[in-house]
Chain A
């Protein structure tokens, strides 16, 4: 028995036979004289076949919801059809009188060389893509497949998989992936997680390559890969696999069931998203509403703010896709740890306590007004609720509400359709807002408690400071007390109150939250079924 330790990048346990995938040999040499025209023809046919293959692969990936992998395969098709590349290959065939396979390999290395000479990691990725395309062309000409053929279920091991190899894997046959290279954010890891296949990266390649057909246990969480395990170890892991299967099946049985406690109290179980593309994840996980759309991700990592039109399209997409469910869209929460280059922000000693959220929006009224216009325009396409972040007093709520009313009037005067009622709510994430929630409940339609910041502010505990882990606790009695005050004040005025921080997904806290009267829980899509199971078990 040998235990290898790598980095677990996709959780889960698998027990099976290891199959080491060795990349096929490169171009075959030919000693017999070649006919250059024939080689050119073979190359041109291969280019067409490769482009066709890649485009159809992109199509099926897109159907599978793997948009980013689909775009990459389309990019590979463009690379295969690149006129400069074709020209280089044909020139090599003519000048050196060698086979098309050899010429493709040589031309590929020439292009790869151009990237490899630039000494940075970004260029290595590019070289990798070119080699992937070159291999595909050579495989087509030599009548080989560019995908990995598996006889049966196995644990697939390799140095690293090219994007097209990963994309064409038969998910049904792969029990786990173990790679000597790769990283947790590499394309293989991302795909493994999205298909729920356990994966470990960063293992010793030499050991893996000589262990084909060995029995193996992979623990995608701890990163342990056990070669030739003894009987006792196998039994231990078989039990874990059984539990894992049982728990997954049991969880699936909650699909389609109402989010209600044993006593019949219904909770709105919604999801947090940060991009319109994630609505599909929400639906896939059987939730029917968005409790928090963090719009700041539309604004980050770019040179200028998104236009009204771009924002309108993003909000409309969310609203139409979740319809007839509702979507709480939070206005821009930039500042603190999230900065945008085009918004002037002066240096702050304590950014978490600084000009952020609604405070920043009221200082940048044009930016805010554009977002509100896009939101109210989109309101005609579904059930929109608007929510302000980082409220600490009634003044900013009143000021923002006045801006909303002005925007609605303006849109109506332009003849734009706006929904009749767009509930207007606020985040409760400062102790101040919680303590004056009696007053705030009179001027808004709902509350949503952002427990991450609320915990940090209530406990005076920086959540980015690892040394404070033992003090940072969303289940702290002080935090729960603040939530209780907020809920009581909300209900007194007849408005609903939700929780959208990580506490909402913590099943250890579900009972306390539901018992105090929380009406809505908004969680990451993957937590919908576990939280539903918990809600249904509650006797409150």
Chain B
């Protein structure tokens, strides 16, 4: 399992646009990808649930990736987050 923390740069947090991009990216991998925020964990394929975490800019989320392609998935997700949110 790979896990990393990510601090949201986008003042709006996980709003629709970056969340949509995240879900789209997460679908490309077999690995189970989860986001944890304030003790609440959601799957990265759950668009509404991620938006429902209520994150805003400056919040820290933990991303965990587990599965066969976890390395590729973790680096792809990290790169996407840095670009989008």
A contact residues vs B (CB 8 Å cutoff): 68, 71-72, 74-79, 81-85, 111, 114-115, 118, 120, 122-123, 125-126, 129-130, 301-304
Contact = CB atoms under 8 A, between A and B. Distances in A.
A395 B54 CA distance: 51
B9 interface: yes
B76 interface: no
- Among A74, A115, A122, A130, chain B packs the most CB atoms within 10 A around the CB of A122
B55 to A, nearest CB: 9
B9 A71 contact: no
Contact of B48 (A79, A118, A120, A125): A79
- Among B21, B54, B56, chain A packs the most CB atoms within 10 A around the CB of B54
A120 B56 contact: yes
Nearest to B20: A75
A448 B6 CA distance: 39
Nearest to A163: B16
Contacts of B52: 111, 114-115
28 contacts: A68-B17, A71-B20, A71-B21, A72-B17, A72-B20, A74-B20, A74-B21, A75-B17, A75-B21, A75-B47, A76-B16, A78-B19, A78-B20, A78-B24, A78-B47, A79-B20, A83-B45, A83-B46, A84-B46, A85-B48, A115-B51, A115-B52, A115-B54, A122-B13, A122-B56, A126-B16, A130-B48, A303-B6
B82 interface: yes
A518 B27 CA distance: 54
8 tightest Cβ-Cβ pairs between the two chains A and B: A75-B20, A75-B16, A129-B16, A82-B47, A78-B47, A78-B20, A118-B54, A78-B23
A82 B48 contact: yes
Contacts of B46: 82-84
Nearest to A108: B48
A339 B11 CA distance: 16
Contacts of B49: 82, 84
Interface string B31-71: 00000000000000111110110101000000000000000
Given A125-B12, A125-B15, A125-B16, 7 more contacts: A75-B19, A76-B16, A78-B47, A79-B20, A111-B52, A122-B15, A130-B51
Contacts, number: 72
A76 B15 CA distance: 11
B6 to A, nearest CB: 8
A338 to B, nearest CB: 15
Contacts of A125: 12, 15-16
A84 B20 contact: no
Contacts of A118: 54
Contacts of A79: 16, 20, 47-48
A82 B46 CA distance: 6
A410 B85 CA distance: 34
Contacts of B13: 122
A118 B23 CA distance: 23
A126 B51 contact: yes
Nearest to A126: B51
Contacts of B23: 78
A229 B17 CA distance: 41
Nearest to B54: A118
Contacts of A115: 51-52, 54
Nearest to B49: A84
A126 B10 CA distance: 14
Contacts of B9: 301-303
Contacts of A77: 20
Nearest to A132: B16
A114 B6 CA distance: 24
A304 to B, nearest CB: 8
A79 to B, nearest CB: 5
Nearest to B12: A122
Contacts of A75: 16-17, 19-21, 47
A72 B16 contact: yes
A78 B6 CA distance: 23
